[in-house]
A and B are shown apart, each in its own frame.
Chain A
Amino acid sequence: QQQVKQSPQSLIVQKGGIPIINCAYENTAFDYFPWYQQFPGKGPALLIAIRPDVSEKKEGRFTISFNKSAKQFSLHIMDSQPGDSATYFCAAVQTGANNLFFGTGTRLTVIP
């Protein structure tokens, strides 16, 4: 059973566009929601993360929106650049637990 559901599977945007990637979860015990960026041949790198006590978090061009009641969260990339082309994973974990539960990933392509 997929603990974290992610959509879309792939996304193509023009440079300067704002891609949005969505994730949903069921386990209300999750209380930390990171996003990872992965380039081909590399391991996932932490991009930005949020806890459910806030509804939005911004770091540079990356923003997480969090809806606790709907058990959904999303990643927005402002002014997207070709260098942002990568696979993005949402994840969830419960504080005090060891294992991250990952979504299935979104392959983002930013066209120059």
Chain B
Amino acid sequence: DAGVTQSPTHLIKTRGQQVTLRCSPKSGHDTVSWYQQALGQGPQFIFQYYEEEERQRGNFPDRFSGHQFPNYSSELNVNALLLGDSALYLCASSLGKNRGDTQYFGPGTRLTVL
């Protein structure tokens, strides 16, 4: 049973560039949430996708956008990168929306913005 997978593992970008991160949910899950984990901090909720729509959003600017595909996989896009966007980006999947209590996390994508 495959868990949550994310790609790429690491990514280096420069300020102003755009980046796309990818996530495949755990088998049987249909909901994907994205979190940003800055160094030495706990993860912070960015948004959640269910039925290919953004269902809830945390306190992040609209430079952060996403997409969910019919196979439930998801992408996180960040435009106009800032140095402060450097972080570990985590994807979590669950079955059904509004299930913050049953989220399984992937290994994350480490984004470095220079």
What per-residue 1/0 map shows which CB atoms of A86-112 lie under 8 Å from chain B? 000101011111111111110000000
Chain A residues with CB under 8 Å of chain B are 4, 6, 32, 34, 36, 41-46, 49, 89, 91, 93-105
Q: A44-B90, A89-B42, A105-B42 are in contact. Are A100 and B100 (CB under 8 A)?
A: yes
Q: Give the contact stretch, choosing among B62-70, B76-84, B104-112.
A: B104-112
Q: Are A49 and B42 in contact (CB under 8 A)?
A: no
Q: Which residue of A lies closest to B9 (CB)?
A: A41
Rounded to whole Å, the gap between the CB of B81 and the closest CB of chain A is 22
Q: Are A97 and B100 in contact (CB under 8 A)?
A: yes
A sample of 9 cross-chain residue pairs with beta-carbon separation below 8 angstroms, ordered by A number, consists of A43-B92, A44-B105, A49-B101, A93-B100, A99-B33, A100-B45, A104-B40, A105-B40, A105-B42
Q: Which residue of B lies closest to A51 (CB)?
A: B101
Q: Are B101 and A43 in contact (CB under 8 A)?
A: no
Residue among A41, A42, A49, A98 having the largest count of chain B Cβ atoms under 10 Å? A98
Rounded to whole Å, the gap between the CB of B28 and the closest CB of chain A is 16
Rounded to whole Å, the gap between the CB of A1 and the closest CB of chain B is 10
Q: Are A102 and B42 in contact (CB under 8 A)?
A: yes
Please, how many angstroms separate the alpha-carbon atoms of A100 and B35 in the complex? 9
Q: Taking the complex as formed, is B56 at the interface, i.e. its CB lies under 8 A from any CB of chain A?
A: yes
Q: Point out the residues of chain B lying under 8 angstroms from A41, CB to CB.
A: 107
Q: Are B4 and A103 in contact (CB under 8 A)?
A: no
Q: Which residue of B lies closest to A6 (CB)?
A: B42
Q: Are A32 and B42 in contact (CB under 8 A)?
A: no
Rounded to whole Å, the gap between the CB of A102 and the closest CB of chain B is 3
Q: Point out the residues of chain A lying under 8 angstroms from B97, CB to CB.
A: 98
Please, how many angstroms separate the alpha-carbon atoms of A49 and B92 in the complex? 17
Please, how many angstroms separate the alpha-carbon atoms of A99 and B101 in the complex? 9
